[in-house]
Amino acid sequence: MNEAFRQRRMRIGALTLGLAALFVVAAARLATLVLVDGPRLAAIARSEHTAVTTLAAVRGAIVDRDGNPLALSAETRSIYARPRRLLSRSTAADRAALARAIGLAPAELEARLNRPEPFVWLRRHLAPDRARAVADLGLDGVGAISEYKRYYPESNLAASVVGLAGTDGQGLSGVELQYDRLVRGAPVELEFYHDALGHPILDSPLALRGPEPGARLTLTIDSSIQAVAENYLAAEVARSGARRGAAVVLDPFTGEVLALANAAGAGVKGDERLHDTAVQDAFEPGSTMKGLLGSIALTDRALTPAQTIYCENGQWRFGGRLIHDDDRHGWLNLGGIIEVSSNIGAAKIALVLGARRFADGMAAFGLGRRTGIDLPGEAAGIVRPAADWKPIELADHGFGQGVAVTPIQLAVAYAAIANGGMVMRPYVVKAAYDNAGDEILSHTPQALGRAIPPAVAHRMNLLLRGVVSGADGTGRLARVADFAVAGKTGTAQMVNPATGGYYQGRLVASFVGFVPAEDPRLVILVVLYDVAHGHFGGLYAAPVFSEIAAAALDRLGVAPAAAPPSYDTASLLPFGAEAPESASAIAPAPANDTPGEYTDGDRGAIPDFRGASLRDAFALARARGLALAVKGHGYVVAQSPRPGAASGGGKAIELTLSGDPAEISGGAAPNGNSAPRPHSRPKARAARRSRR
* 632-to-93, 560, 564, 637, 658 alpha-carbon distances in Å: 92, 22, 11, 10, 6
- Contacts of residue 605, Cβ cutoff 8 Å, sequence gap at least 6: 643, 644, 645, 646, 647
Percent residues over pLDDT 90 in the chain: 50
pLDDT band of residue 586 (cuts 50, 70, 90) is very low
pLDDT in tens, 387-404: 999 999 999 999 999 999
Q: Which of 206-210, 218-222, 332-336 has the lowest mean pLDDT?
A: 206-210
Predicted local distance difference test score (pLDDT) of residue 351: 96
Predicted local distance difference test score (pLDDT) of residue 337: 96
Residue 435's φ and ψ, nearest 5 degrees, are: -65, -20
Predicted local distance difference test score (pLDDT) of residue 577: 32
CA–chain centroid gap for 319, Å, is 38
Cα–Cα distance for residue pair 247/233, rounded to 1 Å:
7
Statement: residue 688 has pLDDT above 70: no
Single-letter amino acid code for the residue at 50: T
Cα–Cα distance for residue pair 411/255, rounded to 1 Å:
10
Predicted local distance difference test score (pLDDT) of residue 502: 83
Predicted local distance difference test score (pLDDT) of residue 269: 74
pLDDT band of residue 584 (cuts 50, 70, 90) is very low
The count of C-alpha atoms lying within 13 angstroms of the C-alpha of 114, restricted to the half-sphere facing its C-beta, is 7
Cα–Cα distance for residue pair 658/647, rounded to 1 Å:
24
Q: What mean pLDDT do residues 66-86 have? A: 88
Predicted local distance difference test score (pLDDT) of residue 575: 29
Residue 452's φ and ψ, nearest 5 degrees, are: -145, 160
Stretch (H or E) spanning 71: strand 69-81
Q: Which of 7-11, 179-183, 450-454 has the lowest mean pLDDT?
A: 7-11
* 554-to-224, 257, 517, 540 alpha-carbon distances in Å: 11, 17, 16, 23
More confident residue, 456 or 631: 456
Predicted local distance difference test score (pLDDT) of residue 190: 61
Highest-scoring range by mean pLDDT, 243-252, 320-329, 533-542: 243-252
Statement: residue 246 has pLDDT above 90: yes
pLDDT band of residue 587 (cuts 50, 70, 90) is very low
Going by the DSSP 8-state scheme, the letter that residue 404 receives in this structure is B
Cα–Cα distance for residue pair 185/193, rounded to 1 Å:
26
* 601-to-643, 644, 664, 669 alpha-carbon distances in Å: 11, 10, 21, 20
pLDDT in tens, 505-539: 889 999 999 999 999 999 999 999 999 988 899 99
pLDDT in tens, 605-619: 888 887 777 767 777
Statement: residue 680 has pLDDT above 50: no
Q: What is the CA radius of gyration of the chain?
A: 37
Say how many residues make up the chain. Answer: 692
Cα–Cα distance for residue pair 251/258, rounded to 1 Å:
7
Predicted local distance difference test score (pLDDT) of residue 646: 77
Cα–Cα distance for residue pair 411/417, rounded to 1 Å:
10
Residue 17, burial from CB neighbour count under 10 angstroms (0-12, 13-18, 19+): exposed
pLDDT in tens, 148-193: 788 899 989 999 999 999 877 789 999 999 999 999 887 766 665 6
Beta strands 308-310 and 216-219 are unpaired
Going by the DSSP 8-state scheme, the letter that residue 35 receives in this structure is I
3-state secondary structure 378-394: CCCCECCCHHHCCHHHH
Statement: residue 663 has pLDDT above 60: no
pLDDT in tens, 308-321: 999 999 999 998 89
pLDDT band of residue 600 (cuts 50, 70, 90) is very low
Q: Three-state SS for 680?
A: coil
Buried b (16+ CB within 10 A) or exposed e, 543-577: bbbbbbbbbbbeeeebeeeeeeeebeebbebeeee
Beta bridge partners of residue 480, listed in sequence order: 483
- Contacts of residue 590, Cβ cutoff 8 Å, sequence gap at least 6: 622, 623
Statement: residue 468 has pLDDT above 80: yes
Predicted local distance difference test score (pLDDT) of residue 55: 61
Predicted local distance difference test score (pLDDT) of residue 192: 58
Q: Contact, 672 vs 653, CB < 8 A?
A: no
Stretch (H or E) spanning 244: strand 244-250
Stretch (H or E) spanning 262: strand 257-264
